[in-house]
Structure 1
Amino acid sequence: MDETQSILSTAKRTLETESKAILKLVEQLDEQFAAAVQYILKSEGRVVVTGVGKSAIIASKIVATLNSTGTPAIFMHAADAIHGDLGTIQNNDVVVCLSKSGNTAEIKALLPLIKKGKNKLIGITGNMDSVLAKQADFVLNAHVEKEACPNNLAPTTSTSAQLALGDALAICLLELRGFSSADFAKFHPGGALGKKLYLRVADIVLNNQKPQVSVDSGVKEVIVEISEKMLGVTAVMDGEDVVGVVTDGDIRRMLSKYDNIGELTAKDIMTKNPKSIEVDTLAVKALKMLQDNGISQLLAFDNGTYSGVVHIHNLINEGIL
């Protein structure tokens, strides 16, 4: 086996090991999981997620997921907690503790301090006979048969299992809270993800010029309008009404069809019934319309009134595509 095939074989074995372990978690779910979710939902405090080593890194990711899906959460490193950070935990908080063995020195030292504060404790552990499992109010079974590491030492499969259970907690809470895409957008205002959830056609059209000519405009005027407004299109107006569009493609087709263009007007070369969209529509829906119809521009309307043009390049620049 050459080196490339050896690498691919190892990668596939790793993914298969971890995927099988995560599927095994489905069988290990029980009423304890449901009770933990219900308690968090009713809690008036935050979710404090803690752990040490690789489990601490997973705990930090779970905190990020909870916060972004409507459940207030905060990370507390278990080692730091017993050296002054225990004040992170407030009276109404729920503590989630991650530990593969459930028996590390830091966890053993932390557990009685949490119990003394009367906070409910949710343990996520791969050892159901551990100190953590026995002292937790709710125990989520994260047991895995083996790590993906060939020496069965480096936390790989076990941390994947912890992360998957954390995701399951977050999504259950999201659904029970009725957390919508609009709510999600409030927590993700930046980047492409946020823009897909809140950016509307009106936000784009506002920054574009508004190309338009009349039905009787000559070809030269049409070409100048398309060129100056730099959107590859112009609306064709009959009074206040849009009756068509002329695109740069229409111009090319006109040049190949007619030898004498001096007498032609916008009405002669326009495309009738152009694709359009309302300004209050999400920009991501405008992208879908453009892609579905194989076009580059849409006319935008505000309650029937022509407002401008949204171009596919606008969506690319915004990071939507």
Structure 2
Amino acid sequence: MNINDIAKEVFEIEAREIANLSKNLTAEFEDAVKAILKCRGKLIISGMGKSGIIGKKIAATMASTGTPSFFLHPGEAYHGDLGMIERDDIVLLISNSGETDEVLKVVPFLKAQENIVISMSGNPDSTLAKNSSYHLNISVKEEACPLQLAPTSSTTATLVMGDALAVALMKLRDFQDRDFAQFHPGGSLGRRLLTKAEDVMQKENLPIVGDNESIKEIVQVVSSGKMGLAIVMSGDDILGIITDGDIRRAMESNQEEFFLLKARGLMSKNPKTVDAKSKLTEVQKMMTDYKVNSLLVCEDKRLLGIIQIYDLGI
């Protein structure tokens, strides 16, 4: 059998099972979401084996999208870590069969402490489902595994159900990109949303020329500045900007008089500027809107530096 055909068959089987997952939705999904929204504690997720691995991902997604959450191994919980679960917490237990011994062993404690228990299983009549406050059905008809043994479609269904919970909570909380960035300060999104232009701008040895500078001096400044441009200034006043593109175009259109040009005759007036306090997302939007790769960073019309597209980390 062709290897690519095997892959396509896996895609088709799992896609079909995910498409059927919506048929398993009941009012308990909505009730579970509302319970998590009202929760004053954390959402603790637990599961064994492959379900546990998926549970860790769901917990990570929840934690980064506004729902305080962490993963607790059921075996470790039963051997001393149940103390991590407080009365105000909601516990999400995952077991495809709904009969996983390690998972079921923590249920009596949760009932005694009166925690809300949300379960995910492929069997609505399982022991786990019957002992849950809300049950989310993740049953699939066919695993992608040809032996119907390795969890494949079922773990994908579990992951998608977890994503559905997380996205529903995000939308109901009106969770925005800036909120997301607060939990991802080290990522590219966090960087662009939280970092300001003044934090990444280039401010040392700026390529500055006077308005009467010769073309030879301008070329030297552009070359040594390694930014592809020169800023034309008179004292503290910004008069214009000259890019290496401006120099090439002037060379083509003014061949005979090229070496007689001065900065004032070559510069583009009113260069695009950005406030020093602008977030990188705003800088990126300006660059996109104006189709430029560089902006002058200013404060009260005073030049502070230059920010280029390469400084955005995108």
So what's the TM-score if we normalise by structure 2? 0.91
Determine if the alignment matches structure 1 residue 281 to structure 2 residue 278: yes
Determine if the alignment matches structure 1 residue 298 to structure 2 residue 272: no
CA pair 51-211 structure 1, distance change in 2 beyond 3 A: same
Determine if the alignment matches structure 1 residue 247 to structure 2 residue 248: no
- 1:59-208 matches, within 5 Å, as 59-207=55-203
**Corresponding residue SS for 2:303:** strand
In structure 2, the partner of 1:263 is 260
Moved more, 182-191 or 125-134: 182-191
AA paired with 1:181?
A: D
In structure 2, the partner of 1:22 is 18
- Could you list the per-position Cα deviations for residues 50-74 of structure 1 after superposition, in whole angstroms to 9, with x for gaps in the alignment? 0001000011111111111111112
CA pair 204-105 structure 1, distance change in 2 beyond 3 A: same
Separation in 1, partners of 2:3, 2:86? 48
- Contact persistence 1:33–1:138 (CA under 8 A): yes
**CA deviation after TM superposition for structure 1 residue 215, in Å:** 1.9
- Could you list the per-position Cα deviations for residues 79-131 of structure 1 after superposition, in whole angstroms to 9, with x for gaps in the alignment? 22222222221121110000100012222322222212211100011101100
Determine if the alignment matches structure 1 residue 33 to structure 2 residue 29: yes
- Contact persistence 1:45–1:92 (CA under 8 A): yes
Separation in 2, partners of 1:17, 1:305? 62
**Corresponding residue SS for 1:63:** helix
Separation in 1, partners of 2:146, 2:71? 31
- Could you list the per-position Cα deviations for residues 124-180 of structure 1 after superposition, in whole angstroms to 9, with x for gaps in the alignment? 111011001101001111111111111111111111111111111112222222322
**CA deviation after TM superposition for structure 1 residue 311, in Å:** 1.9
**Corresponding residue SS for 1:8:** helix
**Corresponding residue SS for 2:231:** strand
Determine if the alignment matches structure 1 residue 308 to structure 2 residue 305: yes
- Contact persistence 1:213–1:222 (CA under 8 A): yes
**Corresponding residue SS for 1:176:** helix
Number of aligned residue pairs: 313
- Contact persistence 2:229–2:244 (CA under 8 A): yes
CA pair 54-207 structure 1, distance change in 2 beyond 3 A: farther
AA paired with 2:276?
A: V
C-alpha root-mean-square deviation of aligned residues, in Å?
2.2
Separation in 2, partners of 1:259, 1:306? 34
AA paired with 1:282?
A: K
**CA deviation after TM superposition for structure 1 residue 261, in Å:** 4.4
CA pair 199-208 structure 1, distance change in 2 beyond 3 A: farther
- Contact persistence 1:244–1:274 (CA under 8 A): yes
Separation in 1, partners of 2:290, 2:26? 48
Separation in 2, partners of 1:194, 1:128? 40
Moved more, 84-93 or 127-136: 84-93
Moved more, 207-216 or 29-38: 207-216
AA paired with 1:148?
A: A
**CA deviation after TM superposition for structure 1 residue 293, in Å:** 5.3
Separation in 2, partners of 1:46, 1:112? 19
CA pair 283-208 structure 1, distance change in 2 beyond 3 A: farther
User: Runs of 5+ in structure 2 lacking a partner?
Assistant: none
AA paired with 2:100?
A: T
Percentage of identical aligned residues: 41
Moved more, 188-197 or 137-146: 188-197
- Contact persistence 1:208–1:309 (CA under 8 A): no
Determine if the alignment matches structure 1 residue 56 to structure 2 residue 56: no
Moved more, 173-182 or 95-104: 173-182
User: Runs of 5+ in structure 1 lacking a partner?
Assistant: none
Separation in 2, partners of 1:207, 1:26? 55
Separation in 2, partners of 1:303, 1:10? 63
- Could you list the per-position Cα deviations for residues 231-277 of structure 1 after superposition, in whole angstroms to 9, with x for gaps in the alignment? 11112235544332111222233344334545321012223343443
Separation in 2, partners of 1:151, 1:158? 14
- Contact persistence 1:209–1:308 (CA under 8 A): no
So what's the TM-score if we normalise by structure 1? 0.89
